[in-house]
Amino acid sequence: MIEKKYLVVLPGIILAFVLYTLSQGFNNIIGIELFGYEKSPISTAMIAILIGIFFGNAFQVRDSFQKGLDFTREYILKLGIICLGIQLKPFEFLEFGKIAIPLIIICIISVLIVIKLLIKRLKIPTRMAYLISIGSTVCGTTAIMATAPVIKANKNEVSYAIANITLFGIISMLIYPYFANIYFGGQPLFIGLFLGTSIHETSQVAAAGLIYDQQFNSPETLNIATITKLIRNTFLIIMIPFFAFLYNRGKSKEKNYSILSIFPYFVLGFVGMIIIRNMGDHFFINIYNNDWQNTIYIIKSSSKVFLTMAMAAIGLSTNLKDIKNMGFKPFLVGFIAMATVGIVSLLTIEFYTRYFI
């Protein structure tokens, strides 16, 4: 029974890997063969998601591939993020975290205030506004799916919110790495903080960090963006009970959520990989240093393969027709939420750099 379950997901995983390979090939042809660079200046992750969107909308993805693509989007993505932890040296997680947490809190509060005002002005359903706001401020689709049953959102509201987050997350994922490089003058700390707080989905943040790393040769930016987003994901534990309280004031007091069910456990895997790296650096540095460095390189390289496969799977599952059918008002709310979290992130980082550095 277990073997059959794994065989069902295999075709979709293979398809994602084929698209990763195709993206890498296109990248080499365009960047190295065509433009003559020693290393392609174009991001493989960006090409993967664009190829995925093209094929996913030009052709009907067969049901036999869908389970594997879902598996890639959910589990191989998380495996790639966990493997990223091997890049972090001692105390980097805590160092970035103490800067990221106040920034995340300010961004969350700002978006909640803005969307609360928009609910009255645009007269959109409160539940949809809540879904868009938690998707924009915490962790995208995961936050939407976890919040929906708590506020009794219907399928259409959930679909609209997910399409909204997908659209603006992809736009920011493709644009922000280049914008941030210009705005922050190539400073990895500020660029990573901005990417980690202003882009919706964990996968989109990972992709934006990977795009920046591949484009500007800055693994540090990828690390900081990933850490910031993982810390941001843990705020789901606070936000869902908070939204349940807001929505159910004066209504049923029944609690439909479980803290254990919404906790993003892959964060623990990421932290575990950091611990493994730090222990390995301490114990193997003198005796097995070459083997240990090779192990680190393999895990780092694997993380980028896994993340790019996930980007291809996400692209294949992005239905542009659904996004087109969203309607005007949710689209406007999503745009304002994206703009708010981006602007607040920029202003907060500017304030931090002016008064604390």
**Who has greater pLDDT, 155 or 321?**
321
- Tokens 């349940």 locate to 244
CA within 13 Å, CB half, 124: 25
- Residue-wise pLDDT for 52-105, tens only, equals 889 988 888 888 898 999 899 888 988 988 887 887 765 666 667 778 888 889
Q: Look at the alpha carbons of 214, 20, 264, 113 in this order and tell me if their dihedral is positive or negative.
A: positive
Q: What is the pLDDT of residue 132?
A: 86
**Residue 325's pLDDT band (cuts 50, 70, 90):** low
Q: What is the largest CA-CA distance in the chain?
A: 66
Concatenated DSSP letters of 64-89: HHHHHHHHIIIIIHHHHHHHHGGGPP
349 φ, ψ (degrees, to nearest 5): -65, -40
Q: Comparing 32 with 323, which gets the higher pLDDT? A: 32
pTM, to two decimals: 0.73
Q: Which of 195, 221, 216, 226 minimizes the C-alpha distance to 307?
A: 226
- Model confidence pLDDT, tens digit, residues 193-244: 999 999 988 878 888 998 899 889 898 999 899 888 888 887 877 787 777 7
Residues 118-168 pLDDT 10s: 777 777 777 888 888 888 888 777 678 777 777 877 766 776 787 788 788
Q: Are 72 and 335 in contact (CB under 8 A)?
A: no
Q: Which two tokens stand for residue 343?
A: 């602007």
- Write down the pLDDT at residue 327: 64
Which pLDDT belongs to residue 47?
Answer: 82
When mean pLDDT is compared across 1-5, 105-109, 154-158, the lowest value belongs to 1-5
Lowest mean pLDDT among 31-40, 138-147, 210-219, 342-351: 31-40
Characterise 130 by phi-psi region: left (phi > 0), alpha (psi -120 to 50), beta (else). Answer: alpha
Nearest in space to 230 (alpha carbons), one of 197, 189, 274, 194: 197
Average pLDDT, the chain: 81
Is 357 a residue whose pLDDT tops 70?
Answer: no
Per DSSP (E only), the strands in 44-191 are: none
Name residues whose C-beta falls within 8 Å of residue 287's C-beta, 6 or more positions apart in sequence. Answer: none
Which residue in 339, 349, 297, 355 sits closest to 114, CA to CA? 339
CB-based contact 165:200 (threshold 8 Å): yes
Distance CA(24)–CA(27), nearest Å, equals 5
Return the sign of the alpha-carbon dihedral for residues 163, 133, 203, 222.
positive
Note the pLDDT of residue 264.
66
Q: Which residue carries 């969307």 as its tokens?
A: 115
pLDDT in tens, 236-283: 777 877 777 777 665 555 555 565 665 667 778 888 888 888 888 877
Q: Which of 343, 302, 237 is nearest to 79 (CA)?
A: 302
User: Exposed (0-12), middle (13-18) or buried (19+): which is 72, by Cβ within 10 Å?
Assistant: buried
